[in-house]
Structure 1
Amino acid sequence: MEAQLDVVVIILHKAADEIVSVSAIRTSNPADRIHFSDSIKSLQRYLAEHPEKCVVDPIDRLAPMQQ
């Protein structure tokens, strides 16, 4: 995936489709409750190493809906 992302300027993901589970435990950062698939975790590592990439709707800003 990294070779493909190296030529990309803007990243538009569908991370919500890659949610494996959501923890019921409340945290100070609601995004910490979300557990993603390995492919999204890989994308997150890539993005952490390449802060120059523009991400539409950053993954770490996703939050589960409150019940």
Structure 2
Amino acid sequence: MVGFGVSIFLITLGAIFKWAIKAHLSGIDLPALGVILMVVGAASFLLQIIMMSRSRNPRRGAEVINDDRNQPPV
């Protein structure tokens, strides 16, 4: 997965293509490309947030292993 920085970069690049560039290229619709980049960046950003929140929560029903190293010898 891409990081937050790449997601923000895609959103920024898409906004530049959508609103800042006024050039016209034959065969390429720059405003449409900008919207696509912004959507991909936003989706990636949301997936990063979801994956980060899932990794922080412990799993339910996880096996607990008893570590006897701190117990005095019997």
**TM-score interval for Structure 1 and Structure 2 normalised by the shorter chain:** under 0.3
For normalisation by structure 2, the TM-score amounts to 0.25
More helix by share: 2
